[in-house]
Amino acid sequence: MGEEVTVLGVGGSMRADSSTELLLRMALREARNQGMRVKLFPLRGHPLPLFDPGMLADPPPAARLLLKEVRAAQAIVFASPVYHGTVGGAFKNTIDYLQALADDDPPWLSGKAVGLLAVGSMAGAALQAITAMEHITRALRAVAMPTVVAVDSSEGAAWGDGGQATIAARLERMCGELRRYACAGTLARTT
């Protein structure tokens, strides 16, 4: 397990002071604490035009950066706010740009470890977004980690003292899974 793992955080929302981006930054801080190199692709910092497959021949600069960082990472953390029971539009639009990886060898996110985070304002809503992200992850041929972090932000209790400790414990477990899986995957690709 001496191989260094790079984990890329992709997500947040278009809102300033996004609680989803806060959660993503917490996850990356934990990944760094566990010895991984971290990179962040915040949606607000890299707005993308609506995806059009015709753009793939000459993607916009933010999409080129996304694709470069995704290709270089051994692990990825997806983080989305919840809107109307599923992932946010900006998040889904960003994921659509990964279609450019279809002709890579291996294609898309084949075998990469993916951690899933969601923040929703109703009980259970964050889990609905997690389920959508699990389907997305599978379609991209990646492997979703067993531990997910779904935060119910409806009453603010999730971010209080007790909630913060629960979130931190889940992030610690998820990041450990990312590290172990990414190291195992890297070892398998080099033998």
Give residue 162's pLDDT: 57
Under the phi-then-psi rule, with left for phi > 0, alpha for psi from -120 to 50, and beta for the rest, what region is 62? alpha
Give residue 191's pLDDT: 41
Mean pLDDT of residues grouped by 10 in the chain (191 residues)? 84 89 96 98 95 96 98 98 96 98 97 97 89 98 97 67 81 98 68 41
Which amino acid is residue 172, in one-letter code? E
Instruction: Enter the DSSP assignment of 158.
Output: G
Domain count, the chain: 1
Q: What is the pTM of this model?
A: 0.92
Q: Which two tokens stand for residue 51?
A: 């995806």
The CATH number of whichever domain residue 186 belongs to comes to: 3.40.50.360
Give residue 185's pLDDT: 72
Ordered DSSP codes for 139-155: HTT-EE-S--EEEE-TT
Question: In terms of residue numbers, what domain contains 41?
Answer: 6-190
Give residue 189's pLDDT: 46
Give residue 187's pLDDT: 45
Question: Residue 1 domain-assigned?
Answer: no
Give residue 122's pLDDT: 78
Angle between helices 19-33 and 161-190 (to 10 degrees): 60
Place of tokens 């990472």: 73
CA distance 24 to 42: 9
Please give the sequence-ordered ranges of beta strands (E in DSSP) within the chain, or none if there are none: 6-11, 37-42, 75-83, 86-87, 113-120, 143-144, 149-152
Per residue, the 3-state secondary structure of 80-108, as one string, reads EEEECCEECHHHHHHHHHHHHHCCCCCCC
Question: Residue 43 domain-assigned?
Answer: yes
